[in-house]
């Protein structure tokens, strides 16, 4: 059912940010392949599922990969519901709620309302599922489809745009979402410290002392360090490059910034 580019069920998956769920027969050699390549060009590590035979439970490695992802990309296509990727969809929706992960649906050659309301090929798939699976399981799949389809996503049925254009736009959107998620903790710290520095400046104008000035300078310096770390995260440097920078700056006056505040 699936293709793998960064892991397999027999090997330990590499560190990744994006989990891609898709129906192999529909998009493996076309849309999903092009989208995965566009993400790779932006230095975004992806987990693209291995092949899972019909009727099998999704491997624990896939469950773990979903849980460890920052963002899950769901490529809905005509035959998406005719597969056991519905189980992983349930997991993706669960992580979106429980772990506040980003869920991004992409509708390829399928009307979003057909997914949301399980019409057309989705209705046909569920007619089969209802004959082979418990009512509770089928209801769980239906609910997951409705919830996933209601997330803000991408409709690729615009005849005025090429597939290349759509893939590039989606990849840029993913990058922006990941960048915001990767620096959100720093943005919160920076905002608080900038407010503190402002309050210190207003207060210390009235009570000037060496200690007060040192306190304010320490706050400002910390803001500078955090902004530097923020910029470094947005550069998406590889571990090798980060290690090189740490070694190169170990004797530099800014070595503490590079060596102690990243990852």
Q: Which of 17, 88, 147, 225 is catalytic?
A: 88
Among the listed residues 100, 185, 82, the one whose alpha carbon sits nearest the alpha carbon of residue 151: 100
Helix axes 163-204, 31-41, angle to 10 degrees: 30
Query: How far apart, in whole angstroms, are the C-alpha atoms of residue 105 and residue 109?
Result: 13
**Whether the Cβ atoms of residue 83 and residue 1 lie closer than 8 Å to each other:** yes
Q: Which residues contact 119 (CB under 8 A, 6 or more apart)?
A: 111, 113
**Whether the Cβ atoms of residue 103 and residue 151 lie closer than 8 Å to each other:** yes
Among the listed residues 143, 70, 157, 73, the one whose alpha carbon sits nearest the alpha carbon of residue 112: 157
**Whether the Cβ atoms of residue 4 and residue 50 lie closer than 8 Å to each other:** yes
Among the listed residues 109, 115, 114, 112, the one whose alpha carbon sits nearest the alpha carbon of residue 89: 115
DSSP 177-240: HHHHHHHHHHHHHHHHHHHHHHHHHHHHTTS--HHHHHHHHHHHHHHHHHHHHHHHHHHT--HH
Active-site residue, 225 included: no
Among the listed residues 29, 57, 23, the one whose alpha carbon sits nearest the alpha carbon of residue 125: 23
Give catalytic residue positions.
88
């Amino acid at each position: 059912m699936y293709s793998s580019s960064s892991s397999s069920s027999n090997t330990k998956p590499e560190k990744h940010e994006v989990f891609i769920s898709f129906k192999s027969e529909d998009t493996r050699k076309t849309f999903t392949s092009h989208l995965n390549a566009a993400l790779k060009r932006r230095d975004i590590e992806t987990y693209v599922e291995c092949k899972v035979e019909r009727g099998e439970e999704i491997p624990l490695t896939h469950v773990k990969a979903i849980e460890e992802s920052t963002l899950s990309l769901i490529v809905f296509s005509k035959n998406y519901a005719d597969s056991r990727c519905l189980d992983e969809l349930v997991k993706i929706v669960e992580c979106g709620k429980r772990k506040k992960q980003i869920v991004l649906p992409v509708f390829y050659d399928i009307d979003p309302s057909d997914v949301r309301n399980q019409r057309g090929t989705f209705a046909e798939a569920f007619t089969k599922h209802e004959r082979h699976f418990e009512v509770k399981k089928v209801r769980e799949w239906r609910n997951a489809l409705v919830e996933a389809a209601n997330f803000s996503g991408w409709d690729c049925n615009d005849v005025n745009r090429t597939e290349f254009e759509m893939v590039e736009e989606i990849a840029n959107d993913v990058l922006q979402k990941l960048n915001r998620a990767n620096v959100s903790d720093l943005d919160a710290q920076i905002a608080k410290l900038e407010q503190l520095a402002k309050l210190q400046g207003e207060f210390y104008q009235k009570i000037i002392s060496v200690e007060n000035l040192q306190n304010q300078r320490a706050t400002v310096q910390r803001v500078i360090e955090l902004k530097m770390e923020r910029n470094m995260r947005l550069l998406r440097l590889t571990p090798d490059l980060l290690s090189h920078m740490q070694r190169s700056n170990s004797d530099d006056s800014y070595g503490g910034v590079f060596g102690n505040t990243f990852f």
